[in-house]
Structure 1
Amino acid sequence: MSETTGKIPFTHDGVTYETWYKVVGDLSTKNRPLVTLHGGPGISHHYMLPHTSFATSHHTPVIFYDQIGIGQSSHLKDVPPEFWTIELFMDELDNLLIYLGIRDDFDLVGHSWGAMLGAHYAAYRRPAGLKHLILVSGSASMKLWAEGTNRLLDGMPEDLREMLKKHEREGTTDSKEYHDGTQIFYNKHVCPLVPWPELLLKSFANMFEDPTVYSTMIGPSEFNITGSLRTWSVVDKLHDITAPTLVINGQDDEAHDVGNWPFFAQIPRVKWVKFAQSAHMTFFEEPERYKEVVGEFLTNV
């Protein structure tokens, strides 16, 4: 299977940055490409690479890219916090689609933050070329995301909860104790596999190396949302999504049902599949079922 990588010029507010991308497969064929949106924001594309399998099984070109601020794309550690907006990332996605010549015919799969970006993009930009939208382990608003993660946190040991809250109250969330405590939560509700897959570790390592985007837009953890996305919501615009949509989450997913319900209730053409043996990483935890469910949706809907 052929692979092409490169960097795309991306101009924002008069300054040109670079978006790194990889195409697996041949865009010159008539097969509709699948564009992947990674999570975070600020966690690199590597953990999304299991989607490469669709290039083989469905002869679908698959496109990966590092959103600006992470991985092999331009890093910007000194820009003001207000630089990082969802409009920035939608503009970057549009720029990618235009550069690759696929804006008129493409499918989109977003995971976690990528699902939020994908839903926002589909609802506000309403791209005519978007034929299938797949929202994996996302949420329709950050308020609902936080409500869900805090419900899950209530099910964790009391001493762990109290330790985490203490650090949040005292502003010491950069301590090792707080980091180790969040990892306990992540090992249950993000990825319970032991050890974590190497691709997932690589994506997190990129985030730890440059946490600028994550810390600015999310905050110190998945359940303590203090960043600029804390008020984000697409709930009131979901009815404007015209593409057939597949919603996926796991039984133990940090992307709780409470955040996914608006997708199912308000997107006009939607299907929701819940994975009984998964947390947040369905494509690692139940890979064969994931490929079957997504492949059937892309082929038959």
Structure 2
Amino acid sequence: MCIYAYNSCLDYVPYTHRKRFIATSPEWEARTGHDQYQTYLKLYKNDVLPKDHRASVTVARVGSRIAAAAKDFTRMHNAINSINSSPFTYTVVRSDDANAFVLPGNHVFVMTGLFKYVHNEDELASILGHETAHNLARHAGERVSQNLIVKMLSYLALMIDPSGMLFSFFVPAEALFFSLPHSREHEIEADEIGFILSSEACYDPHAAKKVFARMKHDADDGNRSVATPPEFVSTHPGYDTRLTNFDQWMPAAMERFNRDDGQKCFAIRQEMKRARSLAAKMHDNERR
């Protein structure tokens, strides 16, 4: 019975085709994400930038193109159920943290501290592509499902050895050899799929490397806000790993970016330029 239940919850991540156990549904994940979204809005209420703030407008504009690329991605890879139909929301929060995150239900949060490392829309697209990719791959649902297995094994360890000795060994071993490697795997997967989304949306693929190169430079200089622990005890891959991965994925990304002899993305980037110019004029007029 247990084996049947486990096998019935196996599926594959779009594009990477990684086989994984996932016991949640996209609908449940979205409902959970909507609840979390309201919680975060209350938490950040005094620091949320207005929707008409220039940073908010820019994030929403770039995000809309990434979201459109995500829809095309699901059709291309026959993964319609990988992302729910909820519209994407983009919330910019005044914070020194150089961070962004996404909730199930397509709610993206961007901290203003990230703009120290993100200098233009191409670079912003690489971040939003990464966050959107987490939802496309349903990483949140997978984490919940993994936690169910870990809890069951924890109870089993206590049943086998009520003294707790086995449990005391299980907890750090589980983190080191299961949870942390899976977390890094999710981040690498989001980097790769996000790379596809941003290049498909006609944002320069080289931009992702520039963002992480700046973070690595500051981390090497001792900036704690972007410093990372040794990779084997971290939830995220190290900067060197990520930069190497981007180099490996770059040829395919540039092929997408230059499709149709580059004419499609050239035309789209001209539209982007006009949109930026119009937004800047509207912003200047409002300030007068």
Larger radius of gyration, structure 1 or 2? 2
- Indicate the structure with greater strand content: 1
Q: Give the TM-score range, shorter chain.
A: under 0.3
Q: Per chain length, whose mean CA-contact separation is higher, i.e. which structure has more relative contact order (CA < 8 Å, sep 6+)? A: 1
- Indicate the structure with greater helix content: 2
